[in-house]
């Protein structure tokens, strides 16, 4: 059983592990995904063909008594729902990737004697993972910098599980799939710039990019994943460009499976610093210009610093975007040697066996689970 919600950075690694569990192993496991009712993860999970069960959950924000009471009530209702799911599905192991929906699911599974494996995608854990760590038999983390947040021996470094296609996809074929020109020779054609702001887009990044479109499109092909909110306005801006520049500008509301092609085909990425950047940029050997989300606490800054300290990325603050983004990107696009070095530094962080390593832990934990009356206890 899997529980994870919120952003794609928490959903995609679990999907990568699920793919290994169900297709790449001689004894595939049956999977049930438990997520928040109405959460963004449901569309991603059902699109992957996995069964999805909904439970109530809410983030406990601020100190307003009414808001806290409502969130606690939602979590209590979610716990009752999770108990019924656990008793019906009878899981041998629970795999948790984060989000507040994991609270009721983890507690229900733990009470039923189901071993719990937590995976931390980000460098620094949020409140949900911190509070649930005590219930975990094993914790997997993306980078060694995360080990300090858990008790000695509890956590292991596995890397960030990504879709296997990121390591297998041919660059030229990825370009053909997106309609980009196939390279005549390395370094002789215009580079490809990928811009994305996560599953919901990033308005401030979109504004900074469209404010310098002519300069960017004079230096590169631009694949821009805008998010739904800004897509219509950006397409209108594209229509106003000269025809030659329009042909270099590829605008998408959202990319799912096609995101593999976008990452592999590109020479530089501009992105937020969500958990997915720790896995997907290294898997593609892609250098990044990272803009940590300013309202997400510390975790995006920690992710960005890890990549920047490794030489794989540069960091721009959200406030600096209007003045700094376009000159920074143009400088990197013009400096092939620096981009190559950053790409090599990024690739060095990749862990191709991450999904298999976490999957192996799940199999081992499943063999230790308790059964029978413990599932009946979960109903009560």
What is the rounded average pLDDT of the residues 42-46?
86
Higher-pLDDT residue of 28, 209: 209
How far is 132 from 136, CA to CA, in rounded Å? 7
Question: For residue 373, what pLDDT is reported?
Answer: 47
Better-predicted residue by pLDDT, 352 or 197 = 352
DSSP element (H, E) containing 99: none
Under 8 Å between Cβ of 241 and 217:
yes
What's the pLDDT at 46? 87
What pLDDT, on a 0 to 100 scale, did the predictor assign at position 372?
Answer: 42
54 backbone dihedrals φ, ψ, rounded to 5°: -100, 140
For residue 256, name the pLDDT band (cuts at 50, 70, 90): confident
Cα Rg of the chain, angstroms? 21
Please state the length of the chain. Answer: 380
Sheet holding 155-157, edge to edge: 52-55, 33-36, 2-4, 94-98, 116-120, 138-141, 155-157
State the Cα–Cα distance between residues 107 and 114, nearest whole angstrom. Answer: 10
Res. 208: pLDDT tops 80 = yes
Q: Which domains does the chain have, with CATH numbers?
A: 2-160+353-379 (3.40.50.2000), 165-347 (3.40.50.2000)
Q: Name which of 1-10, 87-96, 265-274 the model is least confident about.
A: 1-10
Q: Over the stretch 71-105, which tens digit does the pLDDT of each residue have?
A: 676 778 888 999 999 999 899 999 999 888 888 99
Q: How many C-beta neighbours within 10 Å does residue 229 have?
A: 13
| Packed helices 65-89 and 102-111: angle between N→C axes, nearest 10 degrees | 50
**CB hemisphere CA count around 165 (13 angstroms):** 17
The alpha helices in 179-288, defined as continuous H runs, are 203-211, 213-219, 228-239, 243-246, 259-265, 276-284
Question: CA-CA distance, 348 to 342, in Å (whole number)?
Answer: 10
pTM of the prediction?
Answer: 0.89
The pLDDT value recorded for residue 184 is 67
Query: Which pLDDT band holds residue 30 (cuts at 50, 70, 90)?
Result: confident
Q: Give 158-198 pLDDT, tens digit per residue.
A: 999 999 999 999 999 999 999 999 876 665 689 999 999 86
Residue 22 banded pLDDT, cuts 50, 70, 90? confident
Please give the Cα distance from 202 to 294 (Å, whole number): 11
Cβ burial of 224 (10 Å; 0-12, 13-18, 19+) is: buried
> Are residues 117 and 156 in contact, defined by beta-carbon separation less than 8 angstroms?
no
Distances (CA, A) of 139 to 108, 111, 155, 265, 282: 18, 18, 4, 33, 22
The Cβ-side half-sphere exposure at 36, using a 13 Å CA radius, reads 22
Average pLDDT across the chain, whole number? 88
What pLDDT score does 36 carry? 83
Max CA pair span of the chain: 70
What pLDDT shows up at residue 198?
A: 67
Contact assessment for residue 130 and residue 139, using Cβ atoms and an 8 Å cutoff: no
Residues whose CB falls within 8 Å of the CB of residue 258, separated by 6 or more in sequence, listed in order: 177, 178, 252
- Residue 248 in 3-state DSSP? coil
Range with the lowest mean pLDDT among 39-43, 49-53, 141-145, 371-375? 371-375
Contact 369, 307 (CB under 8 A): no
Closest CA to 199 of 137, 290, 271: 271
SS3 per-residue string spanning 227-239: CHHHHHHHHHHHH
């Amino acid at each position: 059983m899997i529980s994870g919600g919120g952003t794609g950075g928490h959903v995609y690694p679990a999907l990568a592990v699920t793919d290994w569990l169900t297709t790449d192993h001689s004894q595939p496991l049956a999977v049930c995904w438990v997520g928040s009712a109405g959460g963004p993860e449901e569309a991603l999970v059902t699109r992957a063909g996995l069964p999805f069960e909904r439970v109530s959950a809410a983030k406990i924000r601020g100190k307003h008594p009414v808001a806290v009471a409502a969130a606690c009530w939602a979590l209590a209702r979610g716990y009752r729902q999770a108990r019924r799911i656990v008793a019906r599905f009878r899981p041998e192991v629970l795999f948790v990737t984060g989000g507040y929906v994991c609270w009721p699911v983890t507690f229900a599974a733990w009470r039923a004697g189901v071993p719990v494996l937590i995976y931390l995608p980000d460098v620094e854990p949020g409140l949900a993972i911190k509070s649930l760590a005590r219930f975990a038999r094993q914790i997997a983390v993306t980078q060694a910098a995360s080990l300090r947040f858990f008790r000695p021996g509890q956590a292991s470094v596995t890397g960030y599980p990504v879709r296997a296609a990121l390591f297998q996809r041919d660059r030229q074929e990825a370009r053909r799939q997106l309609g980009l020109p196939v390279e005549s020779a390395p370094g002789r054609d215009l580079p490809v710039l990928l811009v994305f702001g996560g599953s919901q887009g990033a308005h401030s990044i979109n504004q900074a990019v469209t404010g310098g479109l002519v300069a960017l499109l004079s230096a590169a092909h631009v694949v821009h994943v805008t998010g739904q909110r800004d897509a219509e306005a950006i397409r209108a801006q594209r229509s106003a460009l000269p025809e030659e520049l329009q042909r270099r500008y590829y605008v998408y509301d959202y990319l799912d499976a096609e995101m593999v092609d976008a990452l592999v085909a590109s020479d530089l990425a501009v992105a937020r610093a969500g958990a997915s950047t720790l896995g997907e940029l290294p898997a593609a050997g892609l250098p990044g210009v990272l803009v940590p989300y300013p309202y997400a606490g510390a975790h995006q800054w920690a992710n960005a610093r890890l990549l920047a300290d490794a030489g794989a990325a540069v960091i721009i603050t959200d406030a600096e975007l209007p003045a700094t983004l376009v000159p920074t990107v143009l400088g990197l696009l013009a400096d092939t040697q620096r981009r190559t070095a950053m790409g090599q530094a990024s690739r060095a962080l990749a862990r191709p066996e991450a999904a298999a390593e976490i999957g192996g832990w799940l199999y081992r934990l499943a063999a230790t689970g308790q059964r029978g009356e413990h599932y009946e206890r979960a109903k009560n």
